[in-house]
Amino acid sequence: MKQIALYGKGGIGKSTTSANLSAALSDCGLDVMQIGCDPKHDSTRMLMQGEWIPTVLDLVREHGDANVGVPDAVFTGYGGIRCVEAGGPEPGIGCAGRGIIATFQLLQRLEALYGDVIVYDVLGDVVCGGFAMPMRDGYAQEIYLVTSGEFMSLYAANNICKAIARLSRRTRSVCSLAGVICNAKNIPGEEALVREFAERVNSRLVAYIPRANIVQVAEVNQRTVIEYAPESEQAEVYRNLARTIMENTNLTIPTPLEMHELEELARSYITL
């Protein structure tokens, strides 16, 4: 079983990328599970034709861990993909990772963590205990960073590199960096910038996803691009990503940049 995680800044397009990736993987005949860990709990929505599924954190809060079963927490979406939403913090309280911890505990008790591929879609804005959970406990073995060429998005990706590097020194942890995905915002020089960033952190750019209107069109029609426009060029971009990920054996321990190095790198590409 391959367990991969997509990490990146909030709003960078992780959920769109994850859902399209899962859909493309399932079209290859693979048994896929997608677990979203983001307070917005909309990671799996496009696989569920727009349906908001209940979060594990809410289910456990309302019914107690012992009273939640597979049909309550695991929903079948496009291509038979099993969809789970971990849920997030209550406003002003934070969750310190309770959502994802509760999800792992529940799915393990229910023996529901199985398949050819598990795709974790994890928010990477804040380096807190919860954010690192899937890596720390050996669930996410291959980490993909989703970033654009915007500075704050690269900053978040670099922070995630720091977490992977730190965790990879621990014996229980088996996570490594598997690649960088550029989800383009159409900034001039963006692909070259993200490619160089990937190389500087001891990884490589595994996909460049161009900004395309069909992504929005599919989204308002509550579908992934793979389902809504399978013949489109954008669908082929996601299928290529799925193939690359399945064949990827290039796993590394990242070498995060110092703040001044990251700033210099960004300055050398982002100019007037």
Per annotation, catalytic residue among 9, 38, 42, 121? 9
* Residue 137 annotated in active site: no
> Whose Cβ is closer to ligand SF4: residue 36's or residue 149's?
36
Per annotation, catalytic residue among 27, 38, 42, 125? 125
* Residue 185 annotated in active site: no
Per the CB < 8 A criterion, the answer to whether 141 and 188 are in contact is: no
Residue nearest ligand SF4 (C-beta atom): 130
> Whose Cβ is closer to ligand SF4: residue 82's or residue 136's?
136
Instruction: Identify any residues that bridge with 205 across adjacent strands, giving them in sequence order.
Output: 180
Give the CA distances from residue 159 to residues 42, 73, 166, 213, in Å, rounded to whole numbers and listed in that order.
Answer: 24, 31, 11, 30
> What minimum distance in Å lies between the beta carbon of 125 and ligand SF4?
6
> Whose Cβ is closer to ligand SF4: residue 1's or residue 128's?
128
Instruction: Show the CA angle centred on residue 210, arms to residues 190 and 19, nearest 5°.
Output: 120
* Residue 162 annotated in active site: no
> Whose Cβ is closer to ligand SF4: residue 133's or residue 194's?
133
> What minimum distance in Å lies between the beta carbon of 94 and ligand SF4?
4
* Residue 9 annotated in active site: yes
Contacts of 272 (CB under 8 A, 6+ apart): none
How would you classify residue 73: left for phi > 0, otherwise alpha for psi between -120 and 50, otherwise beta?
Answer: alpha
> What minimum distance in Å lies between the beta carbon of 120 and ligand SF4?
13
Per annotation, catalytic residue among 2, 14, 72, 121? 14
29-40 b/e (C-beta count within 10 Å ≥ 16 → b): ebbbbbbbbbbe
Contacts of 237 (CB under 8 A, 6+ apart): 207, 209, 210
Per annotation, catalytic residue among 31, 38, 40, 116? 40
> Whose Cβ is closer to ligand SF4: residue 9's or residue 223's?
9
Binding site for ligand SF4 (CB under 6 A): 39, 88-89, 94-97, 123, 126, 128, 130-131
Tally Cβ neighbours within 10 Å of residue 61: 14
Dihedral (Cα; 86, 206, 168, 38), 10-degree rounding: -20
Q: How far apart are CA 27 and CA 123, in angstroms?
A: 26
Residues forming the active site:
9, 14, 40, 125
